[in-house]
Amino acid sequence: MADQTSICVVGASGLIGVRHTQHCIDEPLVKLSCIVDPMPAGVELAKKHNVPHFNSVDDMLAAKAAGIVTVDGAILATPNHTHVPLGIQLVKAGVHALVEKPMSTDIPSGRELVAAANATGFKVLVGHHRRFNPYIVAEKQQLVDGRLGKVLAVQGEWTVLKPPEYFAPPTN
């Protein structure tokens, strides 16, 4: 399909990376262009989907520059502390980026990523995927259609307990 957007998944072997990869496969407007993942499971995932595998974003961008692979956008499903440096690297190389939440581990570095995106003209989107959850979409339609009457306030909460290690940068 000529109108497909070529997407690379970075960190494809992790829990959410596998899901992003499958969504790229399932979406007709998307072509999974490659996988970037240093783990053996990333190599296997690339083989399974018959796409190139790279160990690092540097390697993928070198292949892109050489015309070996086409990458319009990348999904960063990597550890939190890598979101800003990898996001900046991608937009500076002319690749739009969907960054898993949190966008950054602190406000100043988040601002650096936004500044890099603004300076290059390439987009950075933070993956707030629950916005597209069928329950949320249906509820929004109920509100738009006025089926709930005059709504004065809405409050929602989604709680998942993640261990502190999930948010901590590596110690090595």
Give me the residue spans of the domains in the chain.
5-130
Partners of residue 36 on adjacent β-strands: 10, 54
Global pTM exceeds 0.85: no
In the chain, what percentage of residues exceed pLDDT 90? 70
State the CB neighbour count (10 A cutoff) for residue 45: 22
How far is 57 from 61, CA to CA, in rounded Å?
6
Range 67-75 average pLDDT = 97
Domain 5-130 falls under CATH 3.40.50.720: yes
Q: At 103, is the pLDDT very low, low, confident or very high (cuts 50, 70, 90)?
A: very high
Give the chain's mean pLDDT. 91
Mean per-residue pLDDT, 86-101: 97
Give the end-to-end CA distance of the chain in Å, rounded to a whole number.
Answer: 44
Query: How would residue 158 be classed by pLDDT, with cut points 50, 70 and 90?
Result: confident
Mean pLDDT of 73-92: 96
Given a cut of 60, is residue 152 above it in pLDDT? yes
Residue 163 pLDDT: 76
Cβ-contact 113, 84 below 8 angstroms: yes
Residue-wise DSSP of the chain: -TTPEEEEEETTTSHHHHHHHHHHHH-TTEEEEEEE-SSHHHHHHHHHHT--EESSHHHHHHHHHTTSS--SEEEE-S-GGGHHHHHHHHHHTT-EEEEPSSS-SSHHHHHHHHHHHHHHT--EEE--GGGG-HHHHHHHHHHHTTTT-S-------------HHHHSPP--
